[in-house]
């Protein structure tokens, strides 16, 4: 999993298979980022081919942790078949999903301005 910072926002590239085998590592990394005070995290799914229920659980848990401290997770670059998993599970109602990192960054900038 790759992590970078852009304009104070953490951008995490999610693993190609976000399942029971990788979920614990991703969860530990996200918890660490949140514990270090990061409040805006963009999860980039451009390299992700598969998301299982374990991956969804990690995202939900991390989102709840961030929400409790006034933060949020935005999701970007979901392939159509990965997006379908989010739609079927109802997660498109929970997360803000954008086509690109740039769109998500713009949304965060607009939110900061208000």
Domain boundaries, given as residue ranges, for the chain: 2-94
Just give the CATH number of 2-94. Answer: 3.30.750.24
- Helix 23-35 to helix 53-67 angle, to the nearest 10 degrees? 10
| pLDDT single digits (tens) 19-59 | 999 999 999 999 999 999 999 999 999 999 999 999 999 99
- Assess whether pLDDT exceeds 80 at residue 114: no
Residue 88 burial (CB count, 10 A): 9
- Residue 5: phi, psi to the nearest 5? -120, 135
Q: Look-up: residue for tokens 């997360």?
A: 95
CA gap 72, 95 in Å, rounded: 9
Q: pTM (2 decimals)?
A: 0.95
95, 101, 105, 110: CA torsion to nearest 10: -60
């Amino acid at each position: 999993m790759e992590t970078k910072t852009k304009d104070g926002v953490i951008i995490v590239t999610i693993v190609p298979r976000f399942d029971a085998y990788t979920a614990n590592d991703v969860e530990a990394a996200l918890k660490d980022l949140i514990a270090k005070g990061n409040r805006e995290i963009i999860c980039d799914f451009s390299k992700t081919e598969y998301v299982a229920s374990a991956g969804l659980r990690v995202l939900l848990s991390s989102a709840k942790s961030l929400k409790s401290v006034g933060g949020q997770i935005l999701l970007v670059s979901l392939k159509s078949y990965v997006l379908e998993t989010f739609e079927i599970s109802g997660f498109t109602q929970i997360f803000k999903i954008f086509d690109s990192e740039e769109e998500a960054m713009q949304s965060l900038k607009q939110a900061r301005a208000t």
